Structure 1
Amino acid sequence: MCDSRPPPADGDDIAACAPQSASAVASSVDGDAVAIDTVAPGEGSGITTLPSGEPEAWHGRHPRREFKARGSQVIRCEACRLPRLNCLCPYQVTAESRIKFWLITHPLEHYKPTNTGRLISDVLAGTEVFSWYRVEPDPRLLALLEDERYQPFIIFPDDQPDYADRVVDVNAIAGVGADVATHTASGEARIPVFILLDGTWRQARRIFRKSPYLDGLPVLPLHTQRLTRYHLRKPASEAHLCTAEVAAELLRQAGEENAASVLDDYFDAFNDCYRASRIHYVLEPTAPMRRLLARRDATAGES
């Protein structure tokens, strides 16, 4: 864990530990309980959407677990998974970034409607989502890790000595102060990739420790004093950022201010829409929502 505080109790979801210049790990604080019974795809009111782009061979590997926590009977939008009372779809805006995100997601996270990792996919079209299985890594991920067009960085705290030699800072993206390849053998610039571990703190640690194919990657800790704005579940500390907040902060520190601002606004819209729906309140457009609508109008006017 970050600094000297003890880790949260098992099952507490953490996206990042970033108090006063400490490190951050990207996993999610977002999540509600998931029932242990199984259902066939499409039955009941469960959330059973698979990650987009997942190969046909992987279909059926996810536990068919129905979302039965508080609010499971709410009528939800099929696209954004939020209650239709305050649908998020009108505020979805895409942004361009030279940074790519690959999310390694614990299977149970796919069924949590409060998961914020999927917000990254909504905003950044090149985002890849992979399900994590300890003994059978996703072949798509393995292929991409071998692709010299990309320079991946795994986002994880720098709090353990056994991988200290792999730790870099954000300047490594530009090849400053670190032995990181920024160009391919043919001289083309490599595309920086941030790998986020999307799950509870225990799940993120397990993914990091039990995935040998990640062992050779540079580790990029997030140092920030930003506090979380996530309202859907009380974190162990205000310094624990959720997955989308981690991604936005990483974009900002890498110089991708426009993409960071769009993701921040989209996260705020998601946060407020979901919170308002929990108390059956129809939300009027907030400032972040109005900015997103203005971006959509501007984009439509250019096309």
Structure 2
Amino acid sequence: MPRPTCSRCQRPLGHCLCALTPDLDSRTRVLILQHPSEAGHALNTARLAALGLANAELRVGEVFDDLPQWLAQPGYRACLLFPGDDAVALTAYAPAEQPLLLVVPDGTWRKARKLLHLNPLLAGLPRVSLGSVAPSRYRLRKAPGEGALSTVEAIVAALDALEAPQRFEALLKPFDALIDGQIAAMGDEVFTRNHLR
């Protein structure tokens, strides 16, 4: 029989993260497009970001037929948080600058690229990237490259850059608790053997 789960964070009730999840406001609107393979993942950091940001929304799928409407948010300039040769590093908003609708694909790099391929409108958006970032706190997976972050970490870094001096570090509290809980569940010996190399 499946364990009862929290309807909001979708974690087992004994490991609910809602008490740690902030309710932060941002000028930036965040649209997270999640590949279906990530939706049921125990370490679903995109869901944590969407729950903790008042101006964020999470959509799950491979082909997003409603994408034109989602991108046409009055008062926002849509851009894609994804590396590329033409990606511009995010910097703080100028005082009267129009805020961004930051579109964030969520999935492995391969799945994120597939989302771009299946949704040409996404691939055509102006790209933005993060400047130099602190190493990932995601201690359960080896980063595929330097500067690789989980989805929630990438969103926090993007918002910290755009909306400085406002900080969005509180979004990482449930993420840190999630990672600590996974490590505790596997035990120090297993974690040390498999993840500290």
**Normalising by structure 1, what TM-score?**
0.54
Q: In structure 2, which of residues 99, 124, 133 is the aligned counterpart of residue 191 of structure 1?
A: 99
- Describe the shift of the 1:172–1:93 C-alpha distance in structure 2 as closer, same or farther (beyond 3 A): closer
Q: In structure 1, which of residues 211, 214, 218 is the aligned counterpart of residue 126 of structure 2?
A: 218
* Structure 2: 5+ residue stretches without partners: 188-197
Please give the residue correspondences for 1:40-51 in structure 2 after superposition, counting only pairs within 5 Å: 45=2
> Per-residue displacement from partner, 1:29-53 (whole Å, max 9, x unpaired)?
xxxxxxxxxxxxxxx63xxxxxxxx
Q: Which residue of 2 aligns with 1:144?
A: 70
Q: Which moved more, 1:203-212 or 1:253-262?
A: 253-262
Are 2:93 and 2:99, in contact at CA under 8 Å, matched by a contact in 1? Answer: no
- Describe the shift of the 1:232–1:83 C-alpha distance in structure 2 as closer, same or farther (beyond 3 A): farther
Provide the secondary structure at the position in 1 that maps to 2:100.
strand
Q: Which has the higher contact order (CA 8 A, sep 6+)?
A: 1
Please give the residue correspondences for 1:200-219 in structure 2 after superposition, counting only pairs within 5 Å: 200-219=108-127
Q: Which residue of 2 aligns with 1:49?
A: none
Q: Which residue of 1 aligns with 2:88?
A: 168
> Per-residue displacement from partner, 1:112-142 (whole Å, max 9, x unpaired)?
12110011111102211222334xx231x32
Partners in 1 of 2:95 and 2:65 — Cα distance? 29
Q: What percent of counterpart residues are identical?
A: 30
Q: Which residue of 1 aligns with 2:161?
A: 253
Please give the residue correspondences for 1:57-206 in structure 2 after superposition, counting only pairs within 5 Å: 76-134=5-63, 137-139=64-66, 141-159=67-85, 164=86, 167-171=87-91, 173-174=93-94, 182=97, 190-206=98-114
Structure of larger gyration radius? 1
Q: Which residue of 1 aligns with 2:193?
A: none
Q: What's the CA shift for 1:217?
A: 1.8
> Per-residue displacement from partner, 1:221-243 (whole Å, max 9, x unpaired)?
12224111112333334632100
Q: Which residue of 2 aligns with 1:229?
A: 137
Identify the structure with the greater strand proportion.
2
Are 2:25 and 2:55, in contact at CA under 8 Å, matched by a contact in 1? Answer: no
Are 2:20 and 2:173, in contact at CA under 8 Å, matched by a contact in 1? Answer: no
Q: What's the CA shift for 1:278?
A: 4.0
Q: What's the CA shift for 1:85?
A: 3.7
Are 1:86 and 1:274, in contact at CA under 8 Å, matched by a contact in 2? Answer: no
Q: What's the CA shift for 1:212?
A: 1.6
- Describe the shift of the 1:236–1:145 C-alpha distance in structure 2 as closer, same or farther (beyond 3 A): closer
- Describe the shift of the 1:278–1:78 C-alpha distance in structure 2 as closer, same or farther (beyond 3 A): farther
Partners in 2 of 1:210 and 1:108 — Cα distance? 15
Are 1:230 and 1:271, in contact at CA under 8 Å, matched by a contact in 2? Answer: yes
Identify the structure with the greater helix proportion.
2
Equivalent residue letter for 1:114: L
RMSD: 2.8
Provide the secondary structure at the position in 1 that maps to 2:58.
strand
1:243 matched to 2:156: no
- Describe the shift of the 1:87–1:214 C-alpha distance in structure 2 as closer, same or farther (beyond 3 A): closer
